[in-house]
Chains A and B, each alone.
Chain A
Amino acid sequence: MIKKIIEKVGVGEAFLFLAVIGYVILGIFDFALLRDVLYVLIRLIVRIAPILLIVFVVMFFTHLFFEGQRIVRFLGKGSGFGGWMVAIVGGIVSSGPIYMWYPLLSDLKEKGMKDSLIASFLYNRAIKIPLLPMMVHYFGWDFTLALSIYMILFSVVNGVIVQRLTQRGPEG
């Protein structure tokens, strides 16, 4: 029955509906806490709105200038070293929460982007250049540098393992 409902309304809508039900239940038992949660939610939305706009613009230009064939050449099978570089640099310079980039990556995946490069992109999102001074402040230069280098190296390892385990072979 649940499967039928999900098929009818869509997975995303069903997921959102469950979250809303959670909020309603919380509101019934503890209205003050619900108010705090809603305050956090509004702050979150305000913070991510500009990033969402950037993602929309990037997606628009991807649709406008990169047709399927070109995406496949850059990020698909046989993209080689260049593909890894695009994924690594793209992951590092992209801003905002990880889930903001799912729509774009989903779009690129449909056009032929390899799983290994998607995994690598998502892994490199852990390296945030604007936040590095903060990390240095808390943990020191040597720690920040060592961790960043390992993160980049392991993003490739991560990508290769994910590619193999998703059973598409090393080339995607």
Chain B
Amino acid sequence: MVKTAHLNAQKQAFFNTTRAFKKSLPILMGVLMLLALADALIPKQTYRLIFSGNWFFDPLMGAALGSISGGNPLTSYIIGGELRQEGVSMLAITAFIVSWVTVGIIQLPAEAVMLGKRFAIVRNAVSFCTSIVIAIFTVLTIGIK
């Protein structure tokens, strides 16, 4: 009797999980397609051309660029490392690395559908601002430009 009840609970859990997954799959697939498109269409050198060395605009540009990019954080470290060698400020690079993962313009539609439009917009906007604040704090703490 107990065994049957447990089996039913497992079946129900599996059914609920599959249903939730089915609902999410088209959105996930759409996000993946956009990410692949962005990855192939935006040349890596573009990042280098955007930074001018300005202390005010560079972190802002870094955060903006990180927000519209996406994918593995490792890519952001590699691009960040290359930018550093080009003489771009750590303030800009830090904002870029942080916003790369915390802000997602490409996946915003998916986040809005699954977690709510207001939540998605507010969370991404707040994360954009805090990426700049974190960049300032980090650079001030370790004392490098």
Interface residues of A (CB under 8 A from B): 10-13, 15-16, 18-20, 22-23, 26, 33, 36-38, 40-41, 44-45, 48, 52, 56, 59-61, 63-64, 97-100, 102-103, 105-107, 109, 115, 118-119, 122-123, 125-126, 128, 131, 134-135, 138-139, 142-143, 146-147, 150-151, 154, 157-158, 161-162, 165-167
Query: How far, in whole Å, are A102 and B118 apart by their CA atoms in the complex?
Result: 15
Contacts of B101 in A (CB 8 A): 98, 125-126
Beta-carbon contact of A99 and B115 below 8 Å = no
| B24 interface hit (Cβ, 8 Å) | yes
| B54 interface hit (Cβ, 8 Å) | no
- 1/0 per position for B79-94, CB-CB distance to A under 8 A? 0110010000010011
Beta-carbon contact of B30 and A18 below 8 Å = yes
Given A12-B113, A99-B104: A162 touches B119 (CB 8 Å cut-off): yes
Tell which of A20, A56, A97 has the most Cβ of chain B within 10 Å. Answer: A97
Beta-carbon contact of B98 and A139 below 8 Å = no
Query: How far, in whole Å, are A102 and B116 apart by their CA atoms in the complex?
Result: 11
Q: Say what secondary structure dominates the interface of chain B.
A: helix
Beta-carbon contact of A134 and B74 below 8 Å = yes
Beta-carbon contact of A154 and B115 below 8 Å = no
What's the minimum C-beta distance from B123 to chain A, rounded to whole angstroms?
A: 5
What's the minimum C-beta distance from B75 to chain A, rounded to whole angstroms?
A: 11
Beta-carbon contact of A12 and B40 below 8 Å = no
Beta-carbon contact of B14 and A99 below 8 Å = no
Query: How far, in whole Å, are A40 and B97 apart by their CA atoms in the complex?
Result: 22
Query: How far, in whole Å, are A63 and B20 apart by their CA atoms in the complex?
Result: 11
List, sorted by A's number, 30 A–B pairs whose CB atoms are closer than 8 Å.
A11-B113, A12-B113, A15-B30, A16-B30, A33-B40, A36-B40, A44-B36, A45-B32, A64-B10, A98-B104, A99-B28, A99-B104, A103-B21, A103-B24, A106-B115, A109-B116, A115-B119, A126-B102, A131-B74, A138-B80, A139-B84, A142-B142, A147-B94, A150-B134, A150-B137, A154-B130, A158-B126, A158-B130, A162-B126, A166-B122
Given A12-B24, A158-B126, A161-B126: A64 touches B13 (CB 8 Å cut-off): yes
Given A40-B36, A131-B74, A151-B98: A16 touches B110 (CB 8 Å cut-off): no
Interface residues of B (CB under 8 A from A): 9-10, 12-14, 16-17, 20-21, 23-37, 39-41, 70-74, 77-78, 80-81, 84, 90, 93-94, 97-98, 101-102, 104, 107, 109-111, 113-116, 118-119, 122-123, 126-127, 130, 133-134, 137-138, 141-142, 144
Contacts of B90 in A (CB 8 A): 139, 143
Beta-carbon contact of A157 and B130 below 8 Å = yes
Query: How far, in whole Å, are A99 and B103 apart by their CA atoms in the complex?
Result: 11
Beta-carbon contact of B36 and A99 below 8 Å = no
Given A26-B37, A36-B40, A64-B9: A139 touches B81 (CB 8 Å cut-off): yes
Query: How far, in whole Å, are A41 and B26 apart by their CA atoms in the complex?
Result: 15
